[in-house]
Amino acid sequence: MLRPLARRLYPSVTGMERPAREPGIENIREIPLGSSDGWPDLEGIHVVLIEDNSDTRLMVDEVLRHCGAVVTTYESAEVALEHLTEFLPTIFICDLSMPGLDGMQFMKRIRALPAKRGSSTPALAVTAYDAQYAASAAQDAGFNAYLTKPLRLDLLATVVKELSSHAVRPKAA
């Protein structure tokens, strides 16, 4: 049987006994991953995720893939910039605070590029900064939206869906 997403993200530790019935979920049924489970459909959306924290990167990647998105992950903005010559994503998700080139500097560089290289690609900032500072910093850097950590993964997926609806799609040849 397939396990729900939360259990896939937080697998049980080996050697620990699970209770016969987990507290608080007596009347909840397990929904297979392939079914309609309330998560937005992100099929056809290519996300570039730039996040230096490996746990956050893995969790966001897993959720977006669960929703059907194609996700390309990077732990540094420098490497992401180098690879953007190879493809153009539907949306960027970028941590604001990272060592080296941070998310704000990354987005300023993206916004300075020609449109066919990503300057008009929607972008979502994620940050542990205070919400008021995050809103100002993200807007100044050229992000279209921001979320503060700890992330609500359902909201993240919904924002990705909304931002992707504003993405400029390349014309078919």
Helix (H) or strand (E) holding 124: strand 123-127
Tens of pLDDT along 39-92?
999 999 999 999 999 999 999 999 999 999 999 999 999 999 999 888 899 999
Q: CB–CB of 138/45 below 8 Å?
A: no
pLDDT value, residue 30: 39
pLDDT band of residue 116 (cuts 50, 70, 90) is confident
pLDDT at 144: 95
Give tens-digit pLDDT for 125-158: 999 888 888 888 899 999 999 999 999 999 999 9
pLDDT-derived band at 167, boundaries 50, 70, 90: confident
- pLDDT confidence of 21, banded at 50, 70, 90? very low
Does residue 160 surpass a pLDDT of 90? yes
End-to-end CA distance of the chain: 43
Look up residue 134 and give its amino acid.
A
pTM: 0.77
Provide the residue ranges of all domains of the chain, joining segments of one domain with +.
40-164
Dihedral sign for Cα 110, 155, 135, 78, please: negative
- pLDDT computed for residue 133 by the predictor: 83
CATH 3.30.1360.120 fits 40-164, yes or no: no
Cβ neighbour number for residue 145 with a 10 Å cutoff: 18
Position 6 scores a pLDDT of 41
